[in-house]
Amino acid sequence: MPQDSPSTPVGSSCGLGDVGILGYGSQGRAQALNLRDSGVAVQVGLREDSASRAHVLRDGLVSCSLDKLAREMDWIAFLIPDEAQPAVYARLEPLLRPGTALVFAHGFNIHYQKIIPRDDLDVLLVAPLAVGEKVRALYESGGGPPCVIACARDASGQALLRAYRYAQALNRKPVRVFESSFAEETETDLFAEQAILCGGLNHLIAAGFETLVAAGYQPEIAYFCCLEEVKYMADLISARGLAGMREAISTTAEYGDFTRGPRVIGEATRAAMSDLLAEIRSGAFARELDQELQQGGARLAEFRRRAHEQDIETVRQRVLGHSRKAVGPGDS
């Protein structure tokens, strides 16, 4: 259920104490800057020789070692890649003070027990519902990201309230939060990535493009129809919802949607979605990923190599080159 944080007026976030941000990537930078601008004392923990140290200084923030962060901060936000978190946590755990709040932006490592924190720590989920750049842009324009919050361990007796307060400090206006669990956030997030946002969409685009090209249509035209126009439709859906999007498209497109869409996303696709969800819920997906990374990621590297060599990528380079040339005066 969405909730506004009633017991946390805007501005009260300044009483958070010292917050340590681990990592200065997509979420790390956005969250560190939002917290700082909300009046929170923030330090950014970086590994030795980190290339991000200069960036942190340029942004007017203080950087320190991971060990110092672990020893001195009241909060530690794990904003390094999920696959790096277990080893870093294991190293830092002996340094953490009792009562420290561990903040995660994604539930994966806690839910699948890749990290099992000490009993005397609060374990919080504050997952902004936006990518890092958007987390910062929303704040700069006077708002902030809605957040999914949860608590996996409540050593202080105040863990969920602490999660609210952290989420509030990422916002300028009263934050909209969705109270959830590590399991729900992790499982829904993985499912959406696999079935829709990454796996589903990428393969739908490639299959559509390849179908048109195999039927003899120009690859450039197929590229625009199947890939570039996705952005316009995604913007429409985001602004108006599925029903509103249908009101904005032609009757021809709408009729094709209602009658042909279910043939593409039919029973077989729904059954595959159920299978994906079952693998996520049983932990089979997490174990498979773990095994792949433990063995050096050769299969992943091969997937990446082949993805770069797809025809649609070659056509994209050609199309972008041509459109740039076409805008110049005198170009034919």
| Interacting residue ranges for ligand NAP, rule: CB under 6 A | 23-28, 46-47, 50-52, 79-82, 84, 88, 105-106, 127, 131-132
The order of strands in the sheet holding 176-179 is: 2-4, 176-179, 147-153, 122-128, 101-104, 75-78, 18-22, 41-46, 62-65
The CB-of-128 to ligand NAP minimum distance in angstroms stands at 6
The CB-of-291 to ligand NAP minimum distance in angstroms stands at 20
Q: Which is nearer to ligand NAP, 112 or 209 (CB)?
A: 112
> If we measure between CA atoms, which residue out of 45, 154, 30 comes closest to residue 102?
154
Q: How far, in Å, CA of 181 to CA of 294, rounded?
A: 28
**Could you tell me where the beta strands, DSSP code E, fall in the chain?**
2-4, 18-22, 41-46, 62-65, 75-78, 101-104, 122-128, 147-153, 176-179
- SS3 for 330? coil
Q: How far, in Å, CA of 143 to CA of 145, rounded?
A: 7
| 290-298: long-range pairs with CB below 8 Å, 24+ | 290/114, 293/83
- Cβ partners under 8 Å of residue 24, min gap 6: 32, 44, 46, 50, 52, 55, 56, 63
Q: Which is nearer to ligand NAP, 44 or 222 (CB)?
A: 44
The CB-of-3 to ligand NAP minimum distance in angstroms stands at 20
Residue 106 designated active-site: yes
Q: How far, in Å, CA of 129 to CA of 192, rounded?
A: 13
The CB-of-17 to ligand NAP minimum distance in angstroms stands at 21
Q: Which is nearer to ligand NAP, 26 or 158 (CB)?
A: 26
> If we measure between CA atoms, which residue out of 214, 167, 247 comes closest to residue 4?
167
Question: Which is the catalytic residue, given 55, 106, 111, 203?
Answer: 106
Q: Which residue is nearest to ligand NAP, using beta carbons?
A: 25
Q: Which is nearer to ligand NAP, 61 or 127 (CB)?
A: 127
Q: Which is nearer to ligand NAP, 53 or 281 (CB)?
A: 53
The CB-of-83 to ligand NAP minimum distance in angstroms stands at 8
Please give the positions annotated as active site.
106
